[in-house]
Amino acid sequence: MKTLIKKVDAEFPENSLTIFETAAKIINSGGLVAFPTETVYGLGANALDSNAVKKIYAAKGRPSDNPLIVHISDISELYPIVSYISDKALKLIDAFWPGPLTLIFNKTDIIPYETSGGLNTVAIRFPSNKTAQLLIKQAAVPIAAPSANSSGKPSPTRASHVEFDLNGKIDMIIDGGGSKFGLESTIIDVSSEIPCILRPGSITKKMIEDVIGNVEIDSAVIKENTMPKAPGMKYKHYSPLANVTIVSGDIENTVKKINSLAFKSVSKNINTAIIATTQTENQYKYGTILVAGDRNKPETIAKNLFKILRKCDYLNIKEVYSESFDSDGIETAIMNRLKKAAGNNIIYV
Protein backbone atom coordinates (compact mmCIF):
# COMPACT_ATOMS: atom_id res chain seq x y z
CA MET A 1 0.00 0.00 0.00
CA LYS A 2 1.27 3.48 -0.80
CA THR A 3 0.82 5.92 2.10
CA LEU A 4 -0.30 9.38 1.02
CA ILE A 5 1.45 12.08 3.09
CA LYS A 6 -0.03 15.61 3.07
CA LYS A 7 1.03 18.70 5.00
CA VAL A 8 -1.44 21.20 6.44
CA ASP A 9 -0.90 24.49 8.28
CA ALA A 10 -1.44 23.79 12.00
CA GLU A 11 -2.92 27.27 12.53
CA PHE A 12 -5.07 27.40 9.38
CA PRO A 13 -5.86 23.81 8.36
CA GLU A 14 -9.11 25.05 6.76
CA ASN A 15 -6.94 26.39 3.91
CA SER A 16 -6.35 22.77 2.83
CA LEU A 17 -9.94 21.63 2.44
CA THR A 18 -9.22 19.20 -0.43
CA ILE A 19 -6.79 17.31 1.82
CA PHE A 20 -9.57 16.86 4.40
CA GLU A 21 -12.00 15.75 1.69
CA THR A 22 -9.54 13.06 0.61
CA ALA A 23 -8.93 11.98 4.22
CA ALA A 24 -12.67 11.88 5.01
CA LYS A 25 -13.30 9.70 1.93
CA ILE A 26 -10.67 7.25 3.20
CA ILE A 27 -12.28 7.15 6.69
CA ASN A 28 -15.77 6.72 5.22
CA SER A 29 -14.67 3.85 3.01
CA GLY A 30 -13.10 1.96 5.92
CA GLY A 31 -9.45 3.09 5.60
CA LEU A 32 -6.85 4.45 8.04
CA VAL A 33 -5.67 8.06 8.37
CA ALA A 34 -3.01 9.23 10.86
CA PHE A 35 -3.57 12.79 12.08
CA PRO A 36 -2.12 15.23 14.62
CA THR A 37 -3.76 15.94 17.96
CA GLU A 38 -2.55 18.16 20.79
CA THR A 39 -1.34 15.07 22.72
CA VAL A 40 0.31 12.75 20.16
CA TYR A 41 -0.50 11.65 16.57
CA GLY A 42 -3.51 9.32 16.32
CA LEU A 43 -4.23 6.50 13.85
CA GLY A 44 -7.86 7.00 12.90
CA ALA A 45 -10.67 4.82 11.55
CA ASN A 46 -14.46 5.07 11.60
CA ALA A 47 -15.26 4.09 15.22
CA LEU A 48 -18.65 2.63 14.16
CA ASP A 49 -17.16 0.30 11.51
CA SER A 50 -15.79 -2.89 13.07
CA ASN A 51 -13.86 -3.89 9.94
CA ALA A 52 -12.14 -0.51 9.74
CA VAL A 53 -11.24 -0.66 13.41
CA LYS A 54 -9.70 -4.14 13.00
CA LYS A 55 -7.26 -2.61 10.51
CA ILE A 56 -5.90 -0.31 13.25
CA TYR A 57 -4.96 -3.31 15.41
CA ALA A 58 -3.32 -5.01 12.39
CA ALA A 59 -1.30 -1.95 11.31
CA LYS A 60 -0.02 -1.26 14.85
CA GLY A 61 0.40 -4.89 15.93
CA ARG A 62 -1.84 -3.93 18.88
CA PRO A 63 -3.33 -6.63 21.14
CA SER A 64 -7.09 -6.85 20.48
CA ASP A 65 -8.01 -6.47 24.18
CA ASN A 66 -6.54 -2.95 24.22
CA PRO A 67 -9.50 -0.60 23.60
CA LEU A 68 -9.33 2.55 21.46
CA ILE A 69 -10.17 6.15 22.29
CA VAL A 70 -13.08 7.54 20.24
CA HIS A 71 -12.60 11.15 19.08
CA ILE A 72 -15.48 13.58 18.55
CA SER A 73 -15.59 17.19 17.33
CA ASP A 74 -18.66 18.45 19.18
CA ILE A 75 -20.28 17.56 22.51
CA SER A 76 -23.56 16.70 20.73
CA GLU A 77 -21.74 13.72 19.15
CA LEU A 78 -21.38 12.19 22.63
CA TYR A 79 -25.09 11.44 23.22
CA PRO A 80 -25.61 8.67 20.62
CA ILE A 81 -22.55 6.70 21.76
CA VAL A 82 -22.76 6.75 25.59
CA SER A 83 -25.67 5.59 27.74
CA TYR A 84 -25.23 7.81 30.82
CA ILE A 85 -23.37 11.03 31.68
CA SER A 86 -22.94 11.77 35.41
CA ASP A 87 -22.93 15.31 36.84
CA LYS A 88 -19.21 15.00 37.56
CA ALA A 89 -18.57 13.98 33.95
CA LEU A 90 -20.50 17.04 32.77
CA LYS A 91 -18.37 19.27 34.98
CA LEU A 92 -15.16 17.77 33.59
CA ILE A 93 -16.43 18.19 30.03
CA ASP A 94 -17.23 21.78 30.78
CA ALA A 95 -13.79 22.45 32.27
CA PHE A 96 -11.48 20.48 29.97
CA TRP A 97 -13.09 19.81 26.56
CA PRO A 98 -11.88 20.33 23.95
CA GLY A 99 -8.52 19.20 25.35
CA PRO A 100 -6.25 16.36 26.55
CA LEU A 101 -8.74 14.58 28.85
CA THR A 102 -10.32 11.21 27.95
CA LEU A 103 -13.49 10.15 29.78
CA ILE A 104 -14.73 6.55 30.12
CA PHE A 105 -18.51 6.05 29.88
CA ASN A 106 -20.90 3.12 29.53
CA LYS A 107 -21.30 2.61 25.78
CA THR A 108 -24.39 2.22 23.60
CA ASP A 109 -24.80 -0.59 21.06
CA ILE A 110 -23.62 1.46 18.10
CA ILE A 111 -20.04 1.28 19.40
CA PRO A 112 -18.77 -2.14 18.27
CA TYR A 113 -16.80 -4.34 20.67
CA GLU A 114 -13.83 -4.10 18.30
CA THR A 115 -13.61 -0.42 19.29
CA SER A 116 -14.11 -0.97 23.03
CA GLY A 117 -11.79 -3.99 23.21
CA GLY A 118 -14.70 -6.20 24.31
CA LEU A 119 -15.70 -3.88 27.18
CA ASN A 120 -19.14 -2.35 27.82
CA THR A 121 -17.46 1.01 28.41
CA VAL A 122 -15.96 3.34 25.84
CA ALA A 123 -13.24 6.01 26.07
CA ILE A 124 -14.12 9.39 24.50
CA ARG A 125 -12.11 12.52 23.82
CA PHE A 126 -12.85 15.85 22.14
CA PRO A 127 -9.42 17.07 20.93
CA SER A 128 -8.59 20.78 20.75
CA ASN A 129 -6.24 20.41 17.77
CA LYS A 130 -7.85 22.17 14.78
CA THR A 131 -6.65 19.59 12.23
CA ALA A 132 -8.14 16.75 14.29
CA GLN A 133 -11.44 18.62 14.65
CA LEU A 134 -11.65 19.34 10.94
CA LEU A 135 -11.00 15.72 10.00
CA ILE A 136 -13.73 14.43 12.35
CA LYS A 137 -16.20 17.08 11.09
CA GLN A 138 -15.47 16.31 7.45
CA ALA A 139 -15.80 12.53 8.00
CA ALA A 140 -19.01 13.12 10.02
CA VAL A 141 -18.41 10.00 12.13
CA PRO A 142 -16.65 9.51 15.48
CA ILE A 143 -13.04 8.49 14.84
CA ALA A 144 -11.38 5.72 16.87
CA ALA A 145 -7.70 6.55 17.21
CA PRO A 146 -4.97 5.08 19.36
CA SER A 147 -1.48 6.55 19.15
CA ALA A 148 -0.12 6.17 15.58
CA ASN A 149 3.00 4.15 16.50
CA SER A 150 3.90 0.48 16.17
CA SER A 151 2.69 -1.15 19.38
CA GLY A 152 5.35 -0.90 22.12
CA LYS A 153 7.26 2.00 20.54
CA PRO A 154 7.22 5.56 21.92
CA SER A 155 4.10 7.46 20.82
CA PRO A 156 4.62 9.71 17.78
CA THR A 157 4.77 13.46 18.31
CA ARG A 158 5.42 14.40 14.68
CA ALA A 159 4.47 13.04 11.26
CA SER A 160 7.99 11.70 10.59
CA HIS A 161 7.61 9.36 13.61
CA VAL A 162 4.38 7.96 12.14
CA GLU A 163 6.03 7.56 8.74
CA PHE A 164 8.96 5.68 10.32
CA ASP A 165 6.61 3.15 12.00
CA LEU A 166 3.66 2.83 9.61
CA ASN A 167 4.69 3.88 6.07
CA GLY A 168 3.14 1.42 3.60
CA LYS A 169 0.72 0.05 6.22
CA ILE A 170 -1.87 2.88 6.32
CA ASP A 171 -3.68 4.94 3.68
CA MET A 172 -2.72 8.47 4.69
CA ILE A 173 -0.77 10.67 7.11
CA ILE A 174 -1.81 14.29 7.68
CA ASP A 175 1.29 16.24 8.74
CA GLY A 176 0.18 19.08 11.00
CA GLY A 177 3.49 19.77 12.76
CA GLY A 178 4.70 18.84 16.26
CA SER A 179 2.37 17.89 19.13
CA LYS A 180 1.67 20.61 21.68
CA PHE A 181 1.69 18.41 24.82
CA GLY A 182 3.66 15.36 23.67
CA LEU A 183 2.17 12.89 26.19
CA GLU A 184 -1.07 10.95 25.71
CA SER A 185 -4.27 12.26 27.32
CA THR A 186 -5.17 11.85 30.97
CA ILE A 187 -7.79 9.06 31.20
CA ILE A 188 -10.49 9.19 33.88
CA ASP A 189 -13.22 6.60 34.37
CA VAL A 190 -16.52 8.35 35.07
CA SER A 191 -18.70 5.27 34.46
CA SER A 192 -19.00 4.54 38.20
CA GLU A 193 -19.73 6.66 41.30
CA ILE A 194 -16.18 7.56 42.28
CA PRO A 195 -14.15 8.80 39.30
CA CYS A 196 -10.76 7.11 38.91
CA ILE A 197 -7.71 8.26 36.96
CA LEU A 198 -6.45 5.33 34.88
CA ARG A 199 -3.63 7.12 33.08
CA PRO A 200 -1.90 10.36 34.19
CA GLY A 201 -1.38 13.09 31.60
CA SER A 202 -1.06 16.84 31.19
CA ILE A 203 -4.34 17.42 33.05
CA THR A 204 -3.23 16.58 36.58
CA LYS A 205 -5.09 15.04 39.53
CA LYS A 206 -5.04 18.45 41.24
CA MET A 207 -6.60 20.16 38.19
CA ILE A 208 -9.36 17.52 38.16
CA GLU A 209 -9.96 17.70 41.92
CA ASP A 210 -10.29 21.48 41.70
CA VAL A 211 -13.36 20.83 39.51
CA ILE A 212 -15.07 17.74 41.00
CA GLY A 213 -13.45 17.10 44.40
CA ASN A 214 -11.69 13.88 45.44
CA VAL A 215 -10.86 11.32 42.78
CA GLU A 216 -9.02 8.02 42.98
CA ILE A 217 -5.93 7.17 41.00
CA ASP A 218 -5.52 3.58 39.78
CA SER A 219 -2.89 2.12 42.12
CA ALA A 220 -1.10 0.53 39.14
CA VAL A 221 -0.14 4.02 37.95
CA ILE A 222 2.08 4.43 41.01
CA LYS A 223 2.85 0.92 42.27
CA GLU A 224 4.88 -1.56 40.26
CA ASN A 225 3.56 -5.07 39.52
CA THR A 226 -0.13 -4.14 40.01
CA MET A 227 -2.70 -4.98 37.29
CA PRO A 228 -3.92 -1.69 35.78
CA LYS A 229 -7.60 -0.94 35.09
CA ALA A 230 -6.87 0.46 31.60
CA PRO A 231 -6.04 -2.68 29.61
CA GLY A 232 -3.39 -0.90 27.51
CA MET A 233 -1.41 0.20 30.56
CA LYS A 234 -0.27 -3.38 31.28
CA TYR A 235 1.81 -3.65 28.12
CA LYS A 236 5.52 -2.80 27.83
CA HIS A 237 5.50 0.51 26.11
CA TYR A 238 7.39 3.52 24.92
CA SER A 239 10.62 1.55 24.73
CA PRO A 240 13.60 2.40 22.64
CA LEU A 241 15.75 -0.58 21.60
CA ALA A 242 18.31 0.43 24.24
CA ASN A 243 18.42 -0.65 27.85
CA VAL A 244 16.97 2.23 29.91
CA THR A 245 17.97 2.85 33.56
CA ILE A 246 16.40 5.62 35.68
CA VAL A 247 18.50 7.09 38.49
CA SER A 248 16.36 8.55 41.28
CA GLY A 249 17.53 10.75 44.15
CA ASP A 250 18.70 14.30 44.79
CA ILE A 251 20.24 15.99 41.78
CA GLU A 252 23.84 16.03 43.02
CA ASN A 253 23.91 12.28 43.75
CA THR A 254 21.98 11.53 40.56
CA VAL A 255 24.57 13.32 38.41
CA LYS A 256 27.43 11.52 40.23
CA LYS A 257 25.82 8.11 39.75
CA ILE A 258 24.97 8.71 36.09
CA ASN A 259 28.51 9.94 35.36
CA SER A 260 29.93 6.80 36.95
CA LEU A 261 27.53 4.47 35.07
CA ALA A 262 28.09 6.26 31.76
CA PHE A 263 31.89 6.16 32.22
CA LYS A 264 31.79 2.37 32.70
CA SER A 265 29.49 1.88 29.73
CA VAL A 266 31.48 4.14 27.36
CA SER A 267 34.74 2.42 28.46
CA LYS A 268 33.29 -0.84 27.17
CA ASN A 269 32.60 0.88 23.80
CA ILE A 270 28.84 0.72 24.38
CA ASN A 271 26.91 3.47 22.57
CA THR A 272 25.53 5.40 25.58
CA ALA A 273 23.10 8.31 26.04
CA ILE A 274 22.07 10.38 29.06
CA ILE A 275 18.64 11.98 29.46
CA ALA A 276 19.47 15.27 31.19
CA THR A 277 17.83 18.65 31.85
CA THR A 278 18.91 22.24 31.18
CA GLN A 279 19.91 22.37 34.88
CA THR A 280 22.37 19.46 34.56
CA GLU A 281 23.48 19.10 30.93
CA ASN A 282 26.89 20.72 31.54
CA GLN A 283 27.70 18.38 34.41
CA TYR A 284 27.80 15.20 32.32
CA LYS A 285 31.04 14.05 30.77
CA TYR A 286 30.42 10.79 28.90
CA GLY A 287 28.14 9.57 26.12
CA THR A 288 25.55 11.52 24.11
CA ILE A 289 23.73 14.10 26.24
CA LEU A 290 20.04 14.48 25.33
CA VAL A 291 18.33 17.43 27.03
CA ALA A 292 14.70 16.62 27.81
CA GLY A 293 13.81 20.13 28.98
CA ASP A 294 13.76 22.50 31.93
CA ARG A 295 12.95 21.12 35.40
CA ASN A 296 11.22 24.41 36.24
CA LYS A 297 8.97 24.00 33.18
CA PRO A 298 8.09 20.29 33.31
CA GLU A 299 5.74 20.69 30.33
CA THR A 300 8.89 21.09 28.18
CA ILE A 301 10.05 17.64 29.36
CA ALA A 302 6.62 16.14 28.62
CA LYS A 303 6.73 17.60 25.14
CA ASN A 304 10.21 16.21 24.31
CA LEU A 305 10.27 12.84 26.07
CA PHE A 306 9.01 10.60 23.24
CA LYS A 307 11.08 12.46 20.64
CA ILE A 308 14.19 11.80 22.72
CA LEU A 309 13.36 8.11 23.26
CA ARG A 310 12.95 7.75 19.49
CA LYS A 311 16.21 9.61 18.89
CA CYS A 312 17.99 6.92 20.92
CA ASP A 313 16.92 4.38 18.29
CA TYR A 314 17.89 6.62 15.38
CA LEU A 315 21.36 7.09 16.98
CA ASN A 316 21.69 3.33 17.61
CA ILE A 317 22.10 3.90 21.36
CA LYS A 318 22.40 0.70 23.44
CA GLU A 319 22.44 2.05 27.00
CA VAL A 320 20.39 5.00 28.33
CA TYR A 321 20.69 6.61 31.78
CA SER A 322 17.92 9.01 32.72
CA GLU A 323 17.32 11.46 35.51
CA SER A 324 14.10 11.05 37.49
CA PHE A 325 11.20 13.52 37.85
CA ASP A 326 9.62 13.13 41.26
CA SER A 327 6.88 15.65 41.83
CA ASP A 328 3.13 15.28 41.74
CA GLY A 329 2.17 17.59 38.86
CA ILE A 330 2.71 16.63 35.23
CA GLU A 331 5.84 14.79 36.49
CA THR A 332 3.52 11.89 37.49
CA ALA A 333 2.73 11.39 33.79
CA ILE A 334 6.36 11.84 32.74
CA MET A 335 7.55 9.23 35.26
CA ASN A 336 4.72 6.84 34.33
CA ARG A 337 5.95 6.82 30.68
CA LEU A 338 9.65 6.80 31.61
CA LYS A 339 9.20 3.84 33.99
CA LYS A 340 7.48 1.88 31.24
CA ALA A 341 10.33 2.70 28.84
CA ALA A 342 12.76 1.44 31.49
CA GLY A 343 10.73 -1.67 32.33
CA ASN A 344 10.79 -0.30 35.92
CA ASN A 345 14.59 -0.47 36.03
CA ILE A 346 15.36 2.19 38.69
CA ILE A 347 18.45 2.80 40.82
CA TYR A 348 17.83 4.83 44.00
CA VAL A 349 20.74 6.96 45.20
| Contacts with ligand AMP, residue ranges (CB under 6 A) | 66-67, 69, 104, 116, 119, 121-123, 146-147, 184, 187, 198-199, 230-233
Binding segment (CB under 5 A) for Mg ion, from list 12-20, 51-59, 144-152, 206-214: 144-152
Among Mg ion, ligand AMP, none, what binds residue 8 when CB lies within 5 to 8 Å by partner kind? none
Provide, rounded to whole angstroms, the least separation between the CB of residue 147 and Mg ion. Answer: 3
**Total residues at interface with Mg ion (CB under 5 A):** 2
Least distance in Å: CB of 301 to ligand AMP? 19
Q: Of 139 and 247, which CB lies nearer to ligand AMP in the complex structure? A: 139
On whether the CB atoms of residues 157 and 178 are closer than 8 A, the answer is: yes
Residue among 144 and 308 whose Cβ is closer to ligand AMP: 144
Closer CB to ligand AMP, residue 122 or residue 312?
A: 122
Position 179 contacts Mg ion (CB under 5 A): no
**C-beta closer to Mg ion: residue 187 or 255:** 187
At closest approach, how far in Å is the CB of 242 from ligand AMP? 22
In the complex, residue closest to Mg ion by CB: 147
Q: How far is the CB of 81 from ligand AMP (least distance, A)?
A: 12
Nearer to ligand AMP, 113 or 284 (CB): 113
The distance of closest approach from Cβ of residue 284 to ligand AMP in the complex, given in angstroms and rounded to an integer, is 32
Q: How far is CA 275 from CA 148, 167, 172, 303, in A?
A: 24, 28, 33, 14
Minimum CB distance to ligand AMP smaller for 122 or for 276: 122
User: What are the backbone angles phi and psi of residue 273, rounded to the nearest 5°?
Assistant: -130, 155
- Residue 123 binds which entry of ligand AMP, Mg ion, none, with Cβ cut-offs from 5 to 8 Å by kind? ligand AMP
In the complex, the smallest distance separating the C-beta of residue 184 from Mg ion, rounded to whole angstroms, is: 6
Cβ–Cβ < 8 Å for 319, 258: no
Shortest distance, position 317 Cβ to ligand AMP, whole Å: 24
- Cβ 267 to ligand AMP, closest distance in Å? 39
Which three-class secondary structure string do you get for the chain?
CCCEEEECCCCCHHHHHHHHHHHHHHHHCCCCEEECCCCCCEEEEECCCHHHHHHHHHHHCCCCCCCCEEECCCHHHHCCCECCCCHHHHHHHHHHCCCCEEEEEEECCCCCHHHHCCCCEEEEECCCCHHHHHHHHHHCCCEECCECCCCCCCCCCCHHHHHHHHCCCCCEEEECCCCCCCCCCEEEECCCCCCEEEECCCCCHHHHHHHHCCCEECHHHHCCCCCCCCHHHHCCCCCCCCEEEEEECCHHHHHHHHHHHHHHHHHCCCCEEEEEECCCHHHCCCCEEEEEEECCEHHHHHHHHHHHHHHHHHCCCCEEEEECCCCCCCHHHHHHHHHHHCCCCEEEC
Segment interacting with Mg ion, rule: CB under 5 A, options 140-148, 299-307, 310-318, 336-344: 140-148
Do residues 313 and 244 make contact, with C-beta atoms less than 8 angstroms apart?
Answer: no
* Residue 273 binds which of Mg ion, ligand AMP, none (CB < 5-8 A, kind-dependent): none
276 binds, among ligand AMP, Mg ion, none (CB under 5 to 8 A by kind): none
Residue 147 binds Mg ion (CB under 5 A):
yes
Torsion on CA atoms 1, 183, 154, 30, rounded to nearest 10: -20
Picked from ligand AMP, Mg ion, none, the partner binding residue 69 (CB below 5 to 8 A depending on kind) is ligand AMP
Nearer to ligand AMP, 178 or 231 (CB): 231
Binding site for Mg ion (CB under 5 A): 146-147
